[in-house]
Amino acid sequence: MKTKSFSNMQCSIARTLEHVGSWWSLLIIRDAMMGARRFKHFQKSLGIAKNTLTSRLNELVEGRIMVRVPAADGSKYEEYQLTERGRELAPVIIALSQWGDKWVAHEDGPSTIITDKDSGERLPRVWPRRESGERMALSEVGMRRNTKAPPIDWTGKEEKIK
Amino acid sequence: MKTKSFSNMQCSIARTLEHVGSWWSLLIIRDAMMGARRFKHFQKSLGIAKNTLTSRLNELVEGRIMVRVPAADGSKYEEYQLTERGRELAPVIIALSQWGDKWVAHEDGPSTIITDKDSGERLPRVWPRRESGERMALSEVGMRRNTKAPPIDWTGKEEKIK
DNA sequence: CCGTATCCATTCCGATACTG
DNA sequence: CAGTATCGGAATGGATACGG
């Protein structure tokens, strides 16, 4: 059987995963955010097989998350660069990283630290907030179907599924 | 060859993906955040094969992202509930959802809307912010290796790509 | 240096049938 | 209803060899 495609699902999460749902995709994007641009950078940094890297890069280019641009140093090869679309995945990357820092940290600490570039300080956690910037409790966050269902308590105390 | 395991990588993103990197995992968690608790809820909502669902749920329980608890209604079966560890994946879920809303929206609009439970209003985007709550530009965010490399410009030095 | 092209192993997933 | 068992197909990823 063919693996189900998420692209025709209405859910935005599924539709996003259609683009970055493969294991390597987000790690490639992370490396690109850290400044990697060349095939070799990704390959060495990630320890990924070349053909796999080729496939993932092609997918990301096709999904317009990255673009191929002429090499800045005049090399005859091209480089890979994040588009705005790709750069806006930063909240996803940061959230994944911070969750890992807290819940499944490596004994030697994290390899990558996300910072305020000016101060060099570690960023506070990416977290749901109000327009005012005030941090919310998760119990104050609701999800509802686009139809008309009432917001659902996602602290998990209730049960209200159709 | 065996697929490379991310669990011994130092990178927090890779370590997180070790837990939620499968295609279905995050969608199961999303459903749980919307209140799904029973096997059948997940199955019907996602259209996932039963054996696949069993595998994913077992993985999530093993990773302590969910727990099995006695059914609230006295059913002889158990229910699945997010742990705090699992609930704290909310920023990841929200970030994925909001990226999809903006960049790969379905023509009929999103199926799920994330709200302030009190006001019912849609939440602003999850985004890197300062301690003060002030929203940052992505160009102000840096990433550095735990060693001491200087922060890297992750807007990309060249012109912005569209 | 940047890929392609094979080939193969493993993982993931779906359909179906079956159990309690 | 909540799984388990089995099967096959598809996707992913690694190793190697090769070519521009």
pLDDT in tens, A31-82: 999 999 999 999 999 999 999 999 999 999 999 999 999 987 777 889 999 9
Residue nearest C6, CA–C1′ metric: A51
pLDDT digits over A90-143, tens only?
Answer: 999 999 999 999 999 988 888 889 999 999 999 999 999 999 999 999 999 999
B68 beta partners: B80
Whole-angstrom distance, CA of residue B104 vs CA of residue B106? 7
The C-alpha of A60 sits at a distance from chain B's nearest C-alpha, in angstroms, of: 14
- Partner-chain residue, chosen from A35, A81, A111, that has the shortest CB–CB distance to B146: A111
- Walk me through the domains of chain B, giving residue ranges and CATH numbers: 12-140 (1.10.10.10)
- Protein A76 CA to nucleic acid D18 C1', in Å? 20
**In this structure, what token pair is assigned to residue A38?**
């060349």
pLDDT tens sequence across B10-28? 899 999 999 998 889 999 9
Which amino acid appears at position A107 of this protein? Answer: E
Query: CA-based angle B125:B127:B131, to the nearest 5?
Result: 125
pLDDT for A107: 85
A99 closest CB neighbour out of B16, B37, B145: B16
Judged against a pLDDT cut of 90, whether residue B153 lies above it is answered with no
- Going by pLDDT thresholds of 50, 70 and 90, the confidence category of residue A161 is very low
Distance of CA B98 to the CA centre of its chain: 12
Question: Does the pLDDT of residue A1 top 80, yes or no?
Answer: no
Amino acid at A128: P
Nearest by CB to residue A112, choosing from B11, B89, B125, is B11
Between CA B38 and C1' D9 the distance (Å) reads: 29
> Cβ A108–B132 below 8 Å, yes or no?
no
E-assigned strands of chain A? 66-70, 78-82, 112-116, 141-145, 152-153
Binning pLDDT at 50, 70 and 90, where does residue B158 land? very low
Percent of chain B past pLDDT 70, that is, above it, reads 86
Contact B47 A143 (CB under 8 A): no
Position A152 scores a pLDDT of 54
Q: Which two tokens stand for residue A22?
A: 């493969």
- Predicted confidence (pLDDT) per residue in B28-76, tens digit: 999 999 999 999 999 999 999 999 999 999 999 999 999 999 987 778 8
Q: What angle do CA A102, A103, A104 make, to 5 degrees?
A: 110
Partner-chain contact A96 B33, CB within 8 Å = no
Q: How far is the CA of B6 from the C1' of D16 (A)?
A: 24
Per-residue model confidence (pLDDT) at position A25: 95
Q: What pLDDT score was predicted for residue A95?
A: 98
Strand C nucleotides, any atom under 7 Å from protein beta carbons: they are 1-17
Q: Who has greater pLDDT, B75 or A12?
A: A12
B78-115 confidence digits (pLDDT tens): 999 999 999 999 999 999 999 999 999 988 888 889 99
HEC-encoded secondary structure of B9-53: CCCHHHHHHHHHCCCCHHHHHHHHHCCCCCHHHHHHHHCCCHHHH
Of A100, A117, A105, the C-alpha closest to B130 is A117
Query: With the C-alpha atoms ordered A76, A78, A79, A84, is the resulting torsion angle positive or negative?
Result: positive
Best mutation target, A28, A50, A98, A103, to test chain B (most B CBs within 10 A): A103
> Which pair of tokens denotes residue A89?
């995945």
